[in-house]
Amino acid sequence: MQQNKHQILIAAVSRLLKPLIRVLLRNGFSYGTFADIAKRQFVEVARDEFSIQGRKQTVSRVSVITGLTRKEVSRVSGLHQRDDDLSRDRYHRASRVIAGWRRDKDFLDQEGKPMVLPVSGTANSFQELVRRYSGDVPYRAVLDEMQTDGSLERLDENRVQLTQRAYLPKADETMKLHILGVDTAFLIDTIDHNMGRTQEPPRFQRKVLYDNLPEEALQVFRHLSAEAAQDLLERLDRWLSRHDRDTNPEAGGSGRNTAGVGIYYFEKPYGEEDQGP
């Protein structure tokens, strides 16, 4: 049984690594760099999550758990951990501004749709929108960023309109790579939770999939799924915004938690790897 689980895990890791390695190679990422990152994460998780209760985790125990030598454990522990704080902040900043533009009544017209906003100078300007939802970041920097990514359009020197219902970075590859790390990690965390590691109830994890679809059905399904998924996400966004204390300081409550729902579309020609064992 244990051997069977091990073989299934090998197959699962091989499958999830293939698209990741494709991204890495396309961006000039060497195996050596990947190996050091993998070793560091093995060491950090073993150190932080697999210690014996009441005892300090040692280099020797981390070495035993990970299969790395003590020398290698010490080496990778000292490697500099690069962060993507800048990309993360930019992503959240643009997302908050678009969400505020779509739901804050001060920036909606009589039909409840996002208004065409003056760039500056009024209580319902883009400048005020950025101040309200993006803090002390210069509004012109946010304006340039969102215009470059196609989130808004400048109608003239002092008017802008929203062109996307959600923030979808198009031009900035660094932002897309940031999303790769965040969204994939959330999905794997959910799968790990649902494998029965805790006594907590399972988290929602579903997909709909058919494997004998004609080419003609794909374009229709892309549109149908995008509209339905966006409508659901916007409804959940409105609910979460009422309970998030950054957006609504009056929400109250205890603790600080991250929660959300992610939806993604997938499509590819049917092949041998889809047929299973």
Residue 36 to residue 216: CA distance in whole angstroms: 45
Q: What is the pLDDT of residues 89-132, one digit of tens each?
A: 777 788 889 989 998 889 999 998 999 999 998 889 999 999 98
| Residue 137 identity (one-letter amino acid) | V
Neighbours of 24 (CB within 10 A): 15
From first to last of its 277 residues, the chain has per-residue pLDDT tens of 666 888 999 999 999 999 999 999 998 899 999 999 999 999 999 999 998 888 889 999 999 999 999 999 999 887 776 666 667 777 778 888 998 999 888 999 999 899 999 999 888 999 999 998 887 789 998 999 899 888 999 999 899 999 988 887 776 777 788 888 889 999 999 999 998 766 789 999 999 999 999 999 999 999 999 999 999 998 998 899 889 988 888 899 999 999 999 999 999 998 755 544 3
Query: Are the C-beta atoms of 151 and 162 separated by less than 8 Å?
Result: yes
Each residue of 162-183: pLDDT tens digit? 998 888 777 677 778 888 888 9
Q: Which one, of 84, 75, 82, lies nearest residue 42 by Cα?
A: 75
- CATH 1.10.10 applies to domain 85-162: yes
pLDDT for 265: 95
User: Tokens standing for 70?
Assistant: 């003590």
Structure-token pair, residue 209: 């999939």
For residues 117 and 132, is the Cβ–Cβ distance under 8 A? Answer: no
Structure tokens at 224: 């149908």
pTM: 0.75
Where are the domains positioned within the chain? Answer: 1-81, 85-162
pLDDT at position 277, please? 39
In sequence order, what E strands does 21-157 have? Answer: 117-118, 152-156
How many helices (H) and strands (E) the chain has is answered by: 9, 3
What are the Cα distances from residue 16, in Å, to 19, 90, 175?
6, 27, 21
Whole-number pLDDT of residue 249:
84
pLDDT value for 273: 56
Q: What is the DSSP letter of 274?
A: G
User: What's the pLDDT score for residue 149?
Assistant: 83
Residue 19's SS3 state is helix
